Structure 1
């Protein structure tokens, strides 16, 4: 199954670590939503969207990227990293997928080191994450959703 994972990862690179682990497991193509590359998601069977959680939601750049490029009737999945709580997380992406007739095949989330805002004052949250166990769970999730 031809798979793309569209992601945004900065601060500590937590999300990038997770999507790279997935891509190595199943040879997925990684698409950084910040680059202005030509994107042809219609060529993929399965499309993932990934980011850290900001204010209990996926980064707005990932949601806007999905709004612009997500084709109709695709399999989709969501990946997030978070310091505290996942919150409503993929709510906006799920609504968009439903509008496009896409099938949500899964969602993966794990802790990620977070020093945003006031968390910096206490040395951050979720130190040491994602760790080897988190990345192994990410690989297993990816294997499961991309089996045909």
Structure 2
């Protein structure tokens, strides 16, 4: 069994929260909003997921603050990242991925999907990506989580 936690920041529409809970159910994870998570508490988990909506082209600053506080005690921990956004651009998670890798953690990958967006000018048109994330997005998130679980379980078996 993989001891895991999902830490996320979700603000406007709850899109990231929905994905966090899908991944969390698949991994049987604890789930925490970033404001309730501390680096000290994260150290007791083997697998840590960090998720956020995208704000001005990147994950919320609170996610970066957690990564900044990671010390050498996290080098044996597995990490993955995920996001929801109005545009599904690969570059949104690049900076966070590089920062995690620079900490020397066992980085497993990323998951991205669309999120409903009705801010700014889009609110006058009923928003974009209505209904997203949807059932297909949830299935893709669950599949991503199963792959993560398999990787961690297989590596734990090899090391035992």
Residue from 70, 81, 84 that aligns with 2:84: 81
Cα distance in 1 for residues equivalent to 2:37 and 2:24: 21
Q: CA RMSD in A?
A: 1.8
Gaps of 5+ in 1: none
Greater CA drift, 31-40 or 137-146: 31-40
**TM-score normalised to structure 2 length:** 0.84
**Aligned pair partner of 2:135 in 112, 132, 137:** 132
Deviation at 1:68, TM superposition (A): 2.4
User: When you count helix as a share of all residues, which structure comes out higher?
Assistant: 2
Secondary structure of 2:108's partner? strand
Normalised TM-score (structure 1)? 0.90
Tell me, yes or no, if structure 1 residue 94 matches structure 2 residue 97. Answer: yes
Gaps of 5+ in 2: 154-160
| Residue 100 (structure 2) pairs with residue 105 (structure 1) | no
1:7 CA displacement: 0.2
Deviates more, 1:82-91 or 1:49-58: 82-91
Equivalent in the alignment of 1:57: 58
Structure 1 residue ranges (4+ consecutive) displaced by more than 4 angstroms after TM superposition: 36-39
Q: Which residue of 2 aligns with 1:68?
A: 69
Query: For the pair shown, which has the larger CA radius of gyration, 1 or 2?
Result: 2
Q: CA deviation at 1:90?
A: 1.6
